[in-house]
Structure formats: structure tokens, C-alpha cells
Amino acid sequence: MSEHAFAVLRQLSNGGFHSGEAIAQQLGCSRTLVWQAVNSIQQELGLTVFSVRGRGYKLATPFHWLDVASIRSGLSIEAAEVFTLAVAERTDSTNSQLMARASNGVLHGLVLAAELQSAGRGRLGRCWQAKLGSGLTFSLLWRFERGMAELAGLSLAVGVALARVLRRLGAPITLKWPNDVLLNHSKLAGILIELSGDALGPTAVVIGIGLNVDQPGEIDQAVATLSSANVTINRNDLLAAILNELHLVLSHFNLYGFNATLRQEWNQLSAHLDSTVNLSFARGEPISGIARGVAENGALLLETSQGLRAFHAGEVSLRSTA
């Protein structure tokens, strides 16, 4: 990608016309480099730029950047005390970045959001893809006094926090065990939790969230977007609202774990409660049964021909039979 692509995009962000010469002057580079950057913005970042002789370049749609001050202005007093915000234009993966810093004693409450990830990760080594500006991709580092063994229900608790925010905005989302947020049966958001610490002692947790506001590009399964549900919200306000809710839910989880209150809420939001589902595993035959909610340790409870069985997230994937 052209090294000037992001700088040129910043110049074009307001959606007005900007001459190649004026941009080149601002950036202290040649007009050829500006032209190459515009090509990168179109071909590699997937944004449309109009080029009109005598007027210059113009983005088809203005681009709204993630911005620390705007996010901060939407935080509650309590959340603002805890979160330290950072925005990267591009990085490999916000989870990888925070995991690398977790072992260096990096701050509790550090949030890193990226405009673009080159190696966004999902569960089980899968990829998370998102076009520039199409949604939110961010991670936060949280230190728990609990050992790893007691953090099993955490991705479900984070799902509840996301669900509260998205439902308040009018998106009738549901949750799919263990880490997906669905809208009209398609994936709107995913949660990736990674731990650094030992089984009993304090644990640093990196919570990564990817959420589609607009179409994220070509994905190998059906995806949902907030815009398709007619929810229009600025990404900075959305991130602030999610951080406020995460602050509440993570503080609750730190004290009480994935207790009856959160569990009941998760079960009510479940896309599959009392439906027949298939569980598939990295090794071995799939198992089918009726989803009967989740346990305190985050396990999925499945009514099978051999009775009620509990499954832990590990290498399990749930698929609807409908």
C-alpha cells in the first residue's frame, strides 16, 4: 500500500474537492505520490474517489475517523476513570498487540481500536475481516483477581454487554454460544477472549470485539450489519456506549462471576434456547441435542439422548439445524 494513503485520506475526509497539487503541498510530496496514494485508497482500502479535471479528488462518501477525544466524550465518569484509549490507523491485530503488551504489565483498562487490521483473528485460528471504516475492531485489556479457571463465562458476559447496547439502539440481536452476536440469524459481531496469566493467580485478559456497522467486504458466510437494521450511529459514539456497558459488566463479573443474573439474561438472549442444534468438534462425531441454556462456568447445556450434557467452548462449534 502507498505510504501516503492514510495521509491523503485524511486530507480528503471531509468529502470536498482537493487538488492534487494542494494535497502534495500539504504533505510535502510529489503529485505522482498523491496519485499513487489515491489508487491505493481505491484499490486496497476499497473506498471510491472521484477524480475531476480542474477540481481534483473527492471521496464519494465523507470518511469519519475514530477519534480518541470523541470516544472519551461519550464515556461515563466511572468508565473514563478506568479506560485509557488509543486508536491505530492500521495494525496486524488489536488482540495480538495487547497480548504482546499484557506480559509487560501494561495498564488495566487499555483500549486499542484500529481503523484497519491486516491480520484480524477470530476463534480457532479463523480470520476476522473488515474494510476500512466499516465497523469497529478493538480490544481491551482487563486484569482480574480471579484465576483463569474462573473466567470461563467471560465471553458470554461480554456478549450480554454488547446485546444491551445494540438492543437499546434498536437492533433485535440474539446471542449464539459461545462468542457470536447475531442479527436476523447472521453474524453481526464476534468476541475473541485471550488470557495471559496462570490458573490460580491474577489474570490479564484481552477482550477483542469486531462489529459490522456497514458491509465489511467479501466474507465466507452470511453477515449482518447495523445499517441493514436501519441503526445509524457514529462509530465513536458506538464504541463509547459499548465501553460504558463493558465497564459495568466486567466490574460485576469481577465480583460475582457469570452469576445467575448474567446467566438468565444470556439465556433470554440466546438464539437457540430450546431448539435442536448440532455441535461439531475438531475431532470426533458431531452431537445433536436441544440447547437448554448455559451453566455458571459458561458451558453449553445440551439435552442429548444420553441425558443433559455440558460442553465447554474449546474446540466446539454450534450450528442450528433449521
Supply the minimum distance, in Å, between the C-beta of residue 215 and ligand BTN: 16
Q: Of the ranges 17-25, 82-90, 125-133, 162-170, which one interacts with ligand ATP (CB under 6 A)? A: 125-133
Nearer Cβ to ligand ATP (80/231): 231
Set 121, 146, 187, 263: catalytic member? 187
Strands 186-197 and 300-304: unpaired
- Whole-angstrom distance, CA of residue 245 vs CA of residue 239: 10
- Whole-angstrom distance, CA of residue 102 vs CA of residue 8: 33
Active site residue 292: no
129 binds ligand ATP (CB under 6 A): yes
Supply the minimum distance, in Å, between the C-beta of residue 136 and ligand BTN: 8
C-alpha distances in angstroms, 31 versus 15, 182, 222?
19, 45, 41
Which of ligand BTN, ligand ATP, none has residue 129 at its interface (CB below 5 to 8 Å by kind)?
ligand ATP
Q: Of the ranges 25-33, 106-114, 116-124, 257-265, which one interacts with ligand ATP (CB under 6 A)? A: 116-124
Residues 218-247 that bind ligand ATP (CB under 6 A): 219-221, 223
The phi and psi torsions of 145 (rounded to 5 degrees) equal: -75, -20
Q: Which three cell numbers stand for residue 45?
A: 482500502
Residue nearest to ligand BTN (CB): 190
Nearer Cβ to ligand BTN (58/101): 101
- Whole-angstrom distance, CA of residue 206 vs CA of residue 192: 8
Active site residue 131: no
DSSP symbol at 306:
T
Q: Which three cell numbers stand for residue 291?
A: 440447547
DSSP calls for 74-123: TS-HHHHHH-EEEEEEEES-HHHHHHHHHTTT--TTEEEEEEEESS-B-G
Residue nearest to ligand ATP (CB): 122
Supply the minimum distance, in Å, between the C-beta of residue 135 and ligand ATP: 7
- Looking up cell 457469570, which residue turns up? 258
Residues 100-129 that bind ligand BTN (CB under 6 A): 117, 120-123, 126, 128
Nearer Cβ to ligand ATP (220/307): 220
Each residue 171-210 as x (binds ligand BTN by CB under 6 A) or -, in order, gives --------xx---------xxx---------------xxx
The phi and psi torsions of 52 (rounded to 5 degrees) equal: -120, 125
2 binds ligand BTN (CB under 6 A): no
Active site residue 31: no
- Whole-angstrom distance, CA of residue 272 vs CA of residue 319: 9
Contact 243, 79 (CB under 8 A): yes
C-alpha distances in angstroms, 69 versus 140, 176, 295, 313, 314?
17, 33, 40, 37, 38
Supply the minimum distance, in Å, between the C-beta of residue 260 and ligand ATP: 25
94 binds ligand BTN (CB under 6 A): yes
State the number of binding residues for ligand BTN (CB under 6 A).
Answer: 21
Residue 124 zone, left/alpha/beta (φ > 0; ψ -120 to 50; rest): left
Strand order in the sheet with 287-294: 307-311, 300-304, 287-294, 276-281, 316-320
272 binds ligand BTN (CB under 6 A): no
Interface ranges with ligand ATP (CB under 6 A): 122-124, 126-130, 179-180, 187, 190, 210, 212, 216, 219-221, 223, 317-318
- Interface residues with ligand BTN (CB under 6 A) are 93-95, 117, 120-123, 126, 128, 137-139, 179-180, 190-192, 208-210
Active centre residues (catalytic): 123, 187, 319
